[in-house]
A and B are shown apart, each in its own frame.
Chain A
Amino acid sequence: MHEVVVIGSGAGGGMAAYVLAHAGIKVLMLEAGPFFDPAKDSRQLEWPYQSLRRGGNATRAMGDFDAAYGGWEIDGEPYTQKGNSRFDWFRARMLGGRTNHWGRISLRMGPKDFKSRSSYGAGDDWPISYEDLKPYYDKVDRLIGVYGSNEGLENDPDGIFLPPPAPRLNELFIKKAATGLGIKVIPGRGSVLTAPLPGNKDRGQCFYCGQCNRTCKIYGDFSASSCLVIPAIKTGNLTVVTNALVREIITDSNGLATGVSYVSKDDMQEYAVRASTVVLAAGTCDSARILLNSKTAQHANGLSNSSNVVGKYLHDSTQTGGGAVLPQLMDRPRFNEDGVGSLHIYAPWWADKQKLDFPRGYHLELFGGLMMPTYGGYFGFEGSIVPFINGYIPDATGKMKASGGFGKSLKDDYRRFYGSMALVGCHGTDIAKETNYCEIDNSVVDKYGIPVLRFHYQWGEDELKQAKHMQETVQSVIKAMNGIPLVQAAGRENNFGLANPGKGIHEVGTVRMGDDPKRSVLNKWGQAHDCKNLFVTDGSVFVQQSEKNPTWTILALSMRTAEYILEQKQKQNI
Chain B
Amino acid sequence: MNRRESLKAISLTASGALLLDACDPKPDTVTAPLKAEGPGRQAFEAKRDQQLLAEKFFTDHEMATITVLVDIIIPKDERSGSATEAKVPGFIEFIVKDEPEHQLPMRGGLRWLDVKCLNLYDNDFKNCAPKDQEFIVNEIAFPTLAKPEMQAGVSFFNKIRDLTAIGFFTSEMGIDDLGYKGNSPTVWKGVPADVIKRYGLEGIL
Chain A positions within 8 Å of B, measured between CB atoms, are 34, 36, 40-43, 45-56, 58-59, 67, 69, 75, 165-169, 172-173, 175-176, 179, 207-210, 328, 333-340, 370, 372-375, 381, 383-384, 386-388, 391, 402-408, 410-411, 414-415, 418
Q: Which residue of A lies closest to B48 (CB)?
A: A59
Q: Which of B142, B144, B186, B191 contacts A166 (CB 8 A)?
A: B191
Question: Known interface pairs A59-B48, A208-B188, A334-B180. Does A167 touch B205 (Cβ–Cβ under 8 Å)?
Answer: yes
Contact B174 A373 (CB under 8 A): yes
Contact A172 B191 (CB under 8 A): yes
Contact A59 B45 (CB under 8 A): yes
Contact A55 B170 (CB under 8 A): yes
Given known contacts A58-B99, A339-B188, A410-B73, what 14 new A-B pairs fall within 8 Å (CB)? Answer: A40-B39, A50-B35, A56-B99, A58-B98, A59-B44, A172-B196, A172-B201, A172-B205, A333-B195, A334-B179, A334-B181, A335-B195, A336-B181, A381-B166
Q: Does B68 contact A (CB under 8 A)?
A: no
Q: Does B49 contact A (CB under 8 A)?
A: yes
Question: Known interface pairs A165-B188, A176-B201, A404-B143. Does A414 touch B165 (Cβ–Cβ under 8 Å)?
Answer: yes
Chain B positions within 8 Å of A, measured between CB atoms, are 32, 34-36, 38-40, 42, 44-45, 48-49, 52-53, 72-75, 77, 79, 91, 94-95, 98-99, 137, 141-145, 157-158, 161-162, 165-167, 169-172, 174-175, 177-192, 195-196, 198-199, 201, 204-205
Contact A411 B175 (CB under 8 A): no
Question: Known interface pairs A169-B195, A335-B192. Does A375 touch B166 (Cβ–Cβ under 8 Å)?
Answer: yes
In angstroms, Cα B144 to Cα A415, docked, is 22
Question: Known interface pairs A166-B188, A168-B191. Does A49 touch B201 (Cβ–Cβ under 8 Å)?
Answer: no
Residues of A within 8 A of B53 (CB): 52
In angstroms, Cα B40 to Cα A67, docked, is 8
Contact A407 B144 (CB under 8 A): no
Question: Known interface pairs A69-B42, A383-B165. Does A56 touch B98 (Cβ–Cβ under 8 Å)?
Answer: yes
Contact B204 A175 (CB under 8 A): yes
Residues of B within 8 A of A414 (CB): 165, 169, 178
What is the minimal beta-carbon distance from A149 to any residue of chain B, in angstroms? 13
In angstroms, Cα B177 to Cα A408, docked, is 13
Q: Which residue of B lies closest to A380 (CB)?
A: B166
Residue contacts A-B, CB under 8 angstroms, 24 given = A47-B183, A54-B166, A55-B170, A56-B98, A167-B191, A176-B201, A207-B185, A207-B186, A207-B187, A333-B192, A335-B181, A336-B182, A338-B188, A373-B178, A375-B170, A384-B165, A391-B144, A404-B143, A404-B145, A406-B72, A406-B157, A411-B74, A415-B177, A418-B180
Contact A209 B185 (CB under 8 A): yes
Residues of A within 8 A of B91 (CB): 54
What is the minimal beta-carbon distance from A387 to any residue of chain B, in angstroms? 6
What is the minimal beta-carbon distance from A155 to any residue of chain B, in angstroms? 25
Residues of A within 8 A of B40 (CB): 36, 40-43, 67
Residues of A within 8 A of B42 (CB): 34, 59, 69
Residues of B within 8 A of A59 (CB): 42, 44-45, 48
Residues of B within 8 A of A207 (CB): 185-187
In angstroms, Cα B41 to Cα A36, docked, is 10
Q: Which of A43, A49, A50, A340 contacts B188 (CB 8 A)?
A: A340
Contact A208 B161 (CB under 8 A): no
In angstroms, Cα B91 to Cα A36, docked, is 30
What is the minimal beta-carbon distance from B33 to any residue of chain A, in angstroms? 11
In angstroms, Cα B181 to Cα A336, docked, is 5
Contact A43 B145 (CB under 8 A): no
- Among B44, B79, B169, B196: residue with most chain A CB under 10 A: B169
Question: Known interface pairs A42-B40, A54-B166, A406-B161. Does A169 touch B175 (Cβ–Cβ under 8 Å)?
Answer: no
Contact B161 A387 (CB under 8 A): yes
Residues of A within 8 A of B34 (CB): 49-52
In angstroms, Cα B45 to Cα A168, docked, is 35
Contact B144 A403 (CB under 8 A): yes
Contact B186 A408 (CB under 8 A): no
Q: Which of A43, A337, A387, A418 contacts B158 (CB 8 A)?
A: A387
- Among B95, B142, B165, B182: residue with most chain A CB under 10 A: B182
- Among B95, B98, B183: residue with most chain A CB under 10 A: B183
In angstroms, Cα B30 to Cα A305, docked, is 61
In angstroms, Cα B142 to Cα A418, docked, is 21
In angstroms, Cα B175 to Cα A336, docked, is 13
Residues of A within 8 A of B44 (CB): 59, 75
